Every structure is written in C-alpha cells, then in structure tokens.
Structure 1
Amino acid sequence: MIRTIADLLSVILREELPKLDKSPIKHAPTIGEMYEGLSSEILNRALPDGLGLRVVSGFACNSQGCLSGELDCMVVRGDGEKVPYTDLHVWHVKDVIAVIEVKKNLYSAELRDAFDHLKTVSAIERPYYRGEDAELDDPDRSAAPAVRTFAEMTGRIVRDAEELAALPHEEEAVFRALLLEQVSAIRVILGMHGFKSERAFRSSIVDHLKQNDGNNGFNPTDFPQLIISGGYALAKTNGRPFMAPLVDGWWPFYFSTPENPLRLLLEFIWTRLDEAYGLGREFWGEDLEREVGRTLLSFRATRNDGKIGWLARTHEVDNEALNKLPVTGQWSPAFVEEEEFVLLVKLRQGGEVRFDDPEIISWLESKGIEFDDVRNRLLRTRLVASSGQSLELITKECGLGILPTGEYVAAENSSGRLDRWISRRIEALSKRAPDEGLA
C-alpha cells in the first residue's frame, strides 16, 4: 500500500508542479505559499483517515511559551491555537508529528537556511524530551522503540541507568541520541526542485558540515530525518524506519538514495503513526522490496574532559560508482541453521537461553558446535540481543519457517512480511520443472 500511495502522490506532484513553475506571479511570498500549499495537499492525501490528524502552518511551542520559527507545514494531532486574523496556528510540540520546511529549489544556500530554520524546533523540544516539562503525560515518551533499535544496532539490551552506564561511551551516546529521536518531531526539508545529480547533493551536505566543523548544532540529532532535493533524498538511520548497525563504534547514520522521495517521506511518518496508533498490516502492503542506501556520513562519539562530542566521517563516491549501485533490492529473511532455529523456537515459546546453560551447551557440544558460534550467528540476525548472560528476542513478532527445501528462515513478522515471502517462495518452487527438484 505504501508504494502505491507514494506512486500516486508522485503522479499528482508531476501534474501539479509544472503549473506552479509556469505561474507568472513574481511575488516571492506568494510563490512560497503556492509550493507550501501543494506540499500540504500531498501530505493531507498521505495521512490515514480516522486518526484526527491535520496539516497546518504556523509555529510549534513548548509549555514555557517559547516559539519555533514559522513552519511551512506541520502534521499535528490534538488541539492547537489559531493566530488571530491569519491562517497560522500554534501547536504544542508534544502534538507535532512532523514539520516540513518547503523550498521551491533546494541547493546549497537553501539547504543551509532550511537546516538552521528546523533547529528552532529542536531548541523548543529540549524541555520536552529531557523531561523538564512537568505538564507532559505522553505515552509517546516510551523508550521501548529506542531500546529495540539500539539492540538491533549493537546486539545489547539496555533497560536501566546501570546498564547504560556500563556501555562504552560511544554506544552510550548513540543510545541517548536514539531516545531523543524517539520523542522529537520528524524534521523534513522538502525541495521541489534541486540538484541534478546525487553526488552533487551529497557533496552539498558534506560541505555544509565541513564549514561548521567544531560548531554546536551539528550532532546526529541536529540533522533532519529526511532531506529531499528534487528526485534525490538523504535519510537518517535512527531506526524509524531505517536502521544501520554500528561498525567499530561508528554509526552510519545518513544515506542517500534516488528512490522515490515521497515513499521515504511516507515511511518516516507512517512508522511514527504505527508506533503511536498501530496502523495494521494492510498499510504496508507486500513490503518485499527494500531501499539500498548509499552511506554518506558516519558519526562516532568521543569523550574529552568528561564531555561527549562527535567525530564525523564522510563516505565519498563518484558518479560512476553511484550509478552502478542498485536503488532497491529484494527483502529476504535470515537463513539460519537448525541449532539457531531450535533456540529461536525456545525463545518464542517463552523459554530462556543462557550462555551458561549446561543443557544447551551439552546439546551443542554433542553436535560438535561451540555455543559462542551459535550465539554470534543469532546476534547477526538482529532478531535477538544480549541481556546479561541471556539472549532475548527483540522482535515485535518473531516469525519462523521451514521451507520445502529443508531450509530454516526467521524474521520480524509484525507486518506479515515473512508470511508473504514464504508464500512467494513456495509458489516459485512449485513452478520449477520436476527434474530440477527442490535442492
């Protein structure tokens, strides 16, 4: 469904955008309003019915009365306050799902301006997501999604301050960043037109980062979750929805793609709505194709005199190499061995898998297998993580299957994706010529 709606919105954009581009109006504020209006129309069509969501323009505020800069589009819930004699609204930041800064053209200058403008939202969110706002009572402040993302990224489960303090400092910083990402509004820069190549787009954000080397406001949480420039996008791997495992303490947290930018926009917003409301399996459709991101920026936390900072690493790729990379790929579950499958079944049934369990160790030794090898293979599936001396499932719904070929598969199945994949796989196997067999 998400791909179908994204394609539909792209058609609308292709039809309506040329009309605005050809408009004889030269008044800059009016031109801005036209493109903001088109963006609001696209967003309204993308929101599920029945959730009481609206798309408005105006300001975000906190309980101390601090205001953000004027925002082109906000996806909001609950009640806001209309600014007298205008079409603008003021909405408490706790009820802002997403903010979108709209640009007719997004090049380097506009990128810097939009980047800085969205920071005004982050500034008023701090009392909210740092727990300084005593009036807040919001279920969205649950840390559970961030805990799960961190477990997927590192293979470690963190449930309390003691476990957090025991982490290496670079992992602790990532965990805290994920908590901020969990509760803050989705920040998007939407450029209707922009860079002619993916490489030029990538270079613009790298140049912006280098020009501000050492300045405050350029940590991972300060970057927008999504930046769209014409047909290209830069997206953040904060686990909602995209995730990238840490590599030697480095977080590959920003990637580029020429995949339909509106699909990415829907994925960010719908993931947040699914966490808050539970959209149901039907919203995600087949969900058997995944974006192949091209890593642009990696960050690693450092500690100096007790203060946390971030080192940035850029991943430069020339146009020829980018053009050779696939845009999407077919999703596949984890193929596991019989030993991992048995332990996953035990975990799914509520059993315990401990590193020092003599029965499990003896069983594996009888098969000539080291427990550490099985544990490491299980951790690589991103379906389990370590908690003390135990392995625990970190899935919403752990799906398991045995194929007619005798192969064992496992995957997150909360959207029904594994069920659909297995159905397709069995159908494909059944169409093979009889002499091919199932091997």
Structure 2
Amino acid sequence: MIRTVADLLSGILRDELPKLDNAPVKHAPTIGDMYEGLSSEILNHALPDGLGLRVVSGFACDGRGALSGQLDCMVVRGEGQKLPYTESYVWHVKDVIAVIEVKKNLHSAELRGAFGQLKAVSEIEHSYYQSGDAKLDDPDRSMAPSARTFAEMTGQIAWDVDGPAALPYEEEAVFHALLMEQVSAIRVILGMHGFKSERAFRSSMIEYLEQNIGSVGFGPTHFPQLVISGAYSLAKANGRPFMAPLIDGWWPFYFSTPENPLRLLLEFIWTRLDEIYGFGRELWGEDLETEVGRCLLSFRAASVDGRKGWEVRAHDVDDEALNEIPVAEQWSPEFLGEEEFVLLERLCHGKEVRSDDLEILSWLDSRGVEFDDVRNRLLETHLVASYGTKLKLITKECQLAILPTGEYIAAENSTGRLDRWISRRIDALHRPASHEGSA
C-alpha cells in the first residue's frame, strides 16, 4: 500500500508542479504560498482517514510562552488556537505529528535557513519534554519503541520489567536521543527542486555542519528526520522506520538516497502514526524491498575531561562510490543454524536462555558448539538482545520456520512480511517443476 500511495503522490506532484513553476507571478510570498499549498494537498492525501488529523500552517508552542517561527505545514491532532483574521494556528508541540518547511528550490542557503527554523521547534520540544508539564501517562511516552530500537542498535536491553539497566554514558546518550526521537515531531525540509547531484547535496550538509562544530543545537536530535532536495534525500536512521546498528560505538545516523522522496515521507509519518494508533498489517503492503542508505554522518557520544557531548564523523565519498551502492535490496529473513534456531524457539515459547544454564551448555557442548558463538550469531539477527546473563526477544512478533529445503529462518512478522516472503519462496520452488510438467 505504501508504494501505491507514494506513486499517487508522485503523480500529483508531477502533474501540478509544472503549473507552479510556470506561473507568471513574481511576488515571492505568493510563490511561497503556492508551493506550500501543493505540499498541504500532498500531505492531506498521505494521511489515513478517520484519525482526526489535519494539515495546518502556523506556530508550535509549549504552553509555557515559547513559540516557534511561522511554519509552512504542520500535521496535527487534537485542538489548536486559530489566530484572528488569518488561516494560521498555534498548536501545542505535543500534538504536532510532523512539521514541513517548504522551499521551491533547496540549495545551501535555503538548507541553512530551514534547518534553523526547524531547530527552533526541536528546542521547544526539548524544553517541554524535560519539564514537569509533559503528561507521563500519554501513550506516546511509552519507552517500549525506543527500548526496542536501542536493543536492535546495540544488542543490549536498556529497560526491562526488572527495571533500567546500568548503561555507560556513551550508550545512555543514544537511548535518551532515541526517546526524544520517539516523542518529537517529524521535522521535514521539502525542496521541490534542488541539488543536481547527490554528492553536491551531501557536501553542502557536511560544510554546514563543519561551520557549526561545537555549537549548541547540532546534536542528533536537532537534525531534521528528512531533508528533500528535488530527487535526493537525507534521512535519519532513528529506528522510525530506518535503523542502523552501532559500529564500534559510532551511530551511522544520517544517510542519503535517490529513493522516491515521497515514499520516504510516508515511511516516516506512517511509522509514527502506527506507533500511536496501531494500523495492523494491511498498511505496509508487500514490504519485501528495503532502502539502502549511503551513510553521510556518524555520531558517537563521548565524555572527555568531564565534558560530555557528541563526536561527529563525515563520510565524504565520490560519485563513483555512491553509484556502486544500490538504492534498494530485496528483504529476506535471518537464516539460522540449528543451534540458533532451537534457542530462539525456546525464547519464542517463553522459556529462558541463559549463559549459565547447565542444560543448554551441556547440549551445545555435545554438538561441539560454544554458547558465546551461538549468542553472537543470535545478536547479529537483531531479534534478540542481552540482559546480564540472559538473552531476550526484542521483537513484536518473532516467527520461525523451516523451509522445504531444510533451511531454518526467523524474522519479525508483525506486518506479515515473513508470511509473504515464505509464500513467494515456495512459489518460486514450485514454479520450475510446474513448468516442466506442462511442457
């Protein structure tokens, strides 16, 4: 379904954008209104019916006097305050799902301006969620989604029914960043036209960051979740929906892609709405192809001489190297050895898997296998994480299967993705035999 809607929105943009580009008007505010109007039209088509969501323009506030600058488009829920004699609203930041800054052309100057505008929204959010005003019983504040993302990224449980785990600062900072990503508005810069190459787009962001190294407001949570410049996008790997495991403590945090930008926009907004409202399996369609990001920025939390903050590393690659990276790849489940399959099945049945379980250790020893080797292979699946001596499932719905070929597989199946993959795989196995029989 997400591809179908993305294609629909791309069709609207393809048909309507030339009308705006060719309009005879030279008045800058009117030109801005036209592109914002088209963006609002696209967003209205992107939102599922029946949720009471609206697309408005105006200002975000924290209920304590802080107010953002004027925002082009906000996807909101609940109630806001309409400003007299205008079509603008003031909306509490806790009820803002997404904020979109719209630009006819997005190049370096526009990128910097829009980044600053959205950073002001981020600062209001930080102030609100760190205050005593935020409602702790708000379902958006459940830590479960962030805890799951953290476990996928690090292979460690940050929060369990037994309570919080003791984490070093470097990992605690990542977990708190993920919590802010979960509750904050999805911030998007939407440039209808822009950079002529992906590399030029990447270089502009790197240059902007280098100019602000050490400045407040340039940590991971202040970056927009999505920046679109014509055919190219920069996106955040925050687990909603894109996840990147830590590499030697570094978080591959920002990536570029020439993937359909409207599909990326849908992925971010629908993932957030799914966390709030719960859509079920039908929303995501086949979901058997995944985007491949070209890493742009990596962040790592660090404490040096009593000062805590984020280190950043830019990945500047040439056009040839970028072109060698595919845009997408076919999804497949995790293929397991028999020992991993048995231990994962044990977890799926609610039984414990511990490194000090003598029965498990004896069984693995009889097969000539070390527990640590099996444990490490299971952690690589991102289906489980460690918590002390235990391994624990971190999926919503882990499912295992044995293929007709005798291969062992497992995957998260909350969207039905594994079911669809197995169906295709079995069809592919049967197709040659059927063809030969009919010859």
The TM-score bracket by the shorter chain reads over 0.9
SS in 1 for 2:401: strand
Name 1:207's counterpart in structure 2. 207
Deviates more, 1:315-324 or 1:130-139: 130-139
Checking the alignment, whether the CA contact within 8 Å between 1:173 and 1:308 is kept in structure 2 is no
Partner of 1:250: 250
After TM superposition, give the deviation of residue 19 of structure 1 in Å.
0.2
Gap change, CA 1:137 and 1:131, over 3 Å in 2? farther
Which residues of 2 match residues 22-421 of structure 1 at below 5 A? 22-133=22-133, 137-159=137-159, 166-421=166-421
Tell me by how many angstroms 1:119 deviates: 1.0
- Structure 1 stretches of at least 4 aligned residues deviating more than 4 Å after TM superposition: 134-137, 160-165, 433-436
Number of positions where the alignment pairs a residue of Structure 1 with one of Structure 2: 436
- 2:88 and 2:175 mapped to 1: Cα distance? 36
3-state SS, counterpart of residue 72 of structure 2? strand
Q: Provide TM-score, normalisation by structure 2.
A: 0.97
Query: Contact 2:241/2:268 (CA < 8 Å) preserved in 1?
Result: yes
Q: 1:161–1:67: structure 2 CA closer, same or farther, 3 Å change rule?
A: farther
Farther-moved stretch of structure 1 (63-72 vs 100-109)? 63-72
Q: Which amino acid aligns with 1:194?
A: G
Could you list the per-position Cα deviations for residues 91-110 of structure 1 after superposition, in whole angstroms to 9, with x for gaps in the alignment?
A: 11110000000000000000
Per the TM alignment, residue 186 of structure 1 is displaced from its structure 2 partner at its CA by: 0.5
Match of 2:4 in 1: 4
Letter in 1 for 2:422: I
How far the C-alpha of 1:383 sits from its partner, in A, is 0.1
Whole-Å separation in 2 of the counterparts to 1:239 and 1:33? 33
Contact conserved, 1:165 with 1:172, CA < 8 A, in 2? no
Does 1:424 find its partner at 2:424? yes
Distance 1:159 1:203 in 2: 38
CA distance in 1, matches of 2:322, 2:305: 40
SS of the aligned residue for 1:365 comes to: helix
* Distance in 1 of aligned mates of 2:126 and 2:227: 22
CA distance in 2, matches of 1:377, 1:108: 44
From the superposition, tell whether residues 63 and 162 of structure 1 become closer, same or farther in structure 2 (CA, over 3 Å).
farther
* Higher mean C-alpha displacement, 163-172 vs 270-279: 163-172
Q: Which moved more, 1:253-262 or 1:335-344?
A: 335-344
What is the alpha-carbon root mean square deviation over aligned residues?
1.7
1:177-221 alpha-carbon deviations (Å, 9 max, x no partner): 111111111100000000000000000100000111111111111
Change (3 A) 1:431 1:141: same
1:429 & 1:162 partners in 2: Cα distance?
45
Distance 2:349 2:358 in 1: 20
Alpha-carbon distance, 1:320 to partner: 1.6
Q: What amino acid sits opposite 2:166 in the alignment? A: A
Map Cα deviations across residues 273-294 of structure 1 (whole Å, 9 max, x no partner): 0000011111100000000110
Q: Shift of residue 324 of structure 1? A: 2.3
**Structure 1 CA distance for aligned equivalents of residues 136 and 393 of structure 2:** 31
* Range that drifts further, 339-348 or 252-261: 339-348
Q: Distance in 2 between matches of 1:432 and 1:342?
A: 32
Contact 2:289 2:329 in 1 (8 A): yes
Structure 2: which 5+ residue stretches go unaligned? none
Structure 2 Cα separation of the partners of residues 209 and 407 of structure 1: 47
User: How far 1:176 sits from its partner (Å)?
Assistant: 1.1
1:8 Cα deviation after fit: 1.0
Work out the CA distance in 2 between the residues paired with 1:434 and 1:189. Answer: 51
Give the distance between the partners of 1:308 and 1:100, measured in 2 at CA.
31
- Partners of 1:162 and 1:427 in 2: CA distance: 44
Distance in 1 between the 2:158 and 2:200 partners? 39
The 8 Å contact of residues 157 and 165 in structure 2, kept in 1 or not, is answered as no
More moved, 154-163 vs 247-256: 154-163
Worse-superposed segment, 252-261 or 320-329: 320-329
Equivalent-residue separation in structure 2 for 1:50 and 1:61 (angstroms): 26
Q: Residue 18 of structure 1 corresponds to which residue in structure 2?
A: 18
Distance (whole Å) between structure 1 residues aligned to residue 336 and residue 135 of structure 2: 48
Q: State how far apart, in whole Å, the 1-side matches of 2:397 and 2:131 are.
A: 31
* TM-score, normalised relative to structure 1: 0.97
Letter in 2 for 1:51: L
Distance 1:135 1:355, change over 3 A: closer
Segment drifting more, 427-436 vs 79-88: 427-436
Q: 1:418 to 1:162 in 2, by over 3 A?
A: closer
Q: Helix, strand or coil for the counterpart of 2:159?
A: coil
Partner deviation per Cα, 1:207-252 (whole Å, 9 max, x = no partner): 0001111111111111000000000000000000000000000000
Matched-pair contact (CA < 8 Å) for 1:236–1:253 = yes
How many Å separate the matches in 2 of 1:411 and 1:13?
36
Write out per-residue CA displacement over residues 68-125 of structure 1, whole angstroms, 9 at most, x where no aligned residue: 1111000000111101100001111110000000000000000000000001111211
Aligned amino acid, residue 399 of structure 2: G
CA distance in structure 1 between the aligned counterparts of 2:10 and 2:201, rounded to whole angstroms: 20
- CA deviations 1:124-170 (Å, max 9, x no partner) are 11233224315664210111111000000000001179986732322
Consecutive unaligned residues of structure 1, counting only runs of 5 or more, are: none
> How far, CA to CA, are the matches of 1:63 and 1:127 in structure 2?
11
